[in-house]
Amino acid sequence: MDTLTELQQLLAFAWWMALCVSILLYVMLDGADLGAGIISLFVPDEHERGAIMSAMAGTWDANETWLVVAGGILFGTFPFVYGSAFSYLLLPLALVLWGIMTRAVALEFRHLAEPKWRRFSDYAFGLSSLATTFFGGVAIGAVLQGFPLTDDPGRVPTYVGGVTRFISAFSVWTGFGAVLIVMLAGGLFIRARFERSEPLRQHVARWTNFAFVTSIACAGITIIWCATIFPWAAQKWFGSNFWIWALVLIAVIYATMRMRRAIHADRDLAAILWFNLTVAIVGVALAATMFPWLVPNTWTIYSGASPQVSLITFTLTMGGFLPVMLMYNWYQIWVFRARISKLVAYHD
């Protein structure tokens, strides 16, 4: 692989930041939809399940676009990482793709289904939301562990390993943690989108409390586990700049407490904003911890970037796309901001 020029290094760093932002926005925006879908599995009322789908009908497709953007950035600017990582994560990403397609079909065609098939559509939507979240979390945990590559001089390194190499206790744990976190996001979303008099809000409140407590416990265990098994994380967290990471931890705890207070005060918008701030702080901290690794101990930002003119071409072609996406997302959220009731169930 060729050596990057100074300009290409700058562009690679900028696109790495754009990749992190895209993934973070997907987690914050579509995470709420996925969590609401998982919670719908425990909602007995057919009309309330349909109303949950209706609540996200105007925004879910734009939310998922950020995952497409992240994949496009990875393909266009980090093709070596794209090729090897997708080989490594072939099975979990295939299941994530199945989940995304299934929930899209279930959501869009529920109102066309006959009554006897409507319940099937509901469970397909909920289970596909669960599968997308779990296997997406497994993929994140597997990436943090890194994977082996070939080392043939003059040739692009490729993945060497079996199709099930991604499976480990840690990756399964991160999949479980992802489910808990998106359930919290989904609970906050449902509470914010439904009229305060709706019984569904009270039903979801119990799941929100459960997800909040278990997410906190899961996050604490994950941090300790990462510090134990990942030297690259422990060196940064407990090195000479440990005080910076201590401040980050304090900021996360503060945002979490404010979120909890907003939940108890029934201030739904504030609860969502504090939750997203917590996720943003954790996401930025994770990216800073991994830097300059894109895949720890496997690919750095610079070794995985394309050294060819395509890096500059991709920047000139796609550089203006991100602000357009941001404006489109904001416009959709603003248009579909009103509260609803189960009378708008997604059928008939």
CA distance 180 to 186: 10
Asked if residue 67 lies in contact with residue 140, where contact means CB atoms within 8 angstroms, the answer is no
Q: Which residues fall within 8 angstroms of residue 60, CB to CB, at 6 or more apart?
A: 30, 33, 104, 107
Are 122 and 147 in contact by the 8 Å Cβ rule? The answer is no
Residue 348 has pLDDT above 70, yes or no: no
The better pLDDT of the pair 214, 342 is held by 214
Amino acid identity, residue 301? I
Cα dihedral 289, 294, 295, 298 sign: negative
Mean pLDDT of the chain: 89
Q: How confident is the model at residue 342 (pLDDT cuts 50, 70, 90)?
A: low
Distance separating alpha carbons of residues 81 and 294, to the nearest angstrom: 8
pLDDT tens-digit readout, 143-170:
999 999 998 887 888 999 889 999 999 9
Distance CA 72, CA 16 (A): 12
Measured CA to CA in angstroms, residue 155 lies from 89, 112, 158, 331 at distances of 22, 52, 9, 46
Domains in the chain: boundaries: 6-344
Q: How confident is the model at residue 308 (pLDDT cuts 50, 70, 90)?
A: low
CA dist., res. 118 & res. 109, Å (int): 9
Residues 48-100 pLDDT 10s: 888 888 888 778 888 888 998 899 889 888 989 999 999 999 999 999 999 99
Which of the listed ranges 108-112, 171-175, 192-196 does the model predict with the highest average pLDDT?
171-175
pLDDT of residue 343: 61
pLDDT, residue 109, reads 84
Question: Tokens 């906050």 map to which residue?
Answer: 188
- pLDDT category at 345 given cuts 50, 70, 90 is low
Q: What is the arithmetic mean of pLDDT over 253-264? A: 95
What distance in Å separates the CA atoms of residue 30 and residue 56, rounded to the nearest whole number?
10
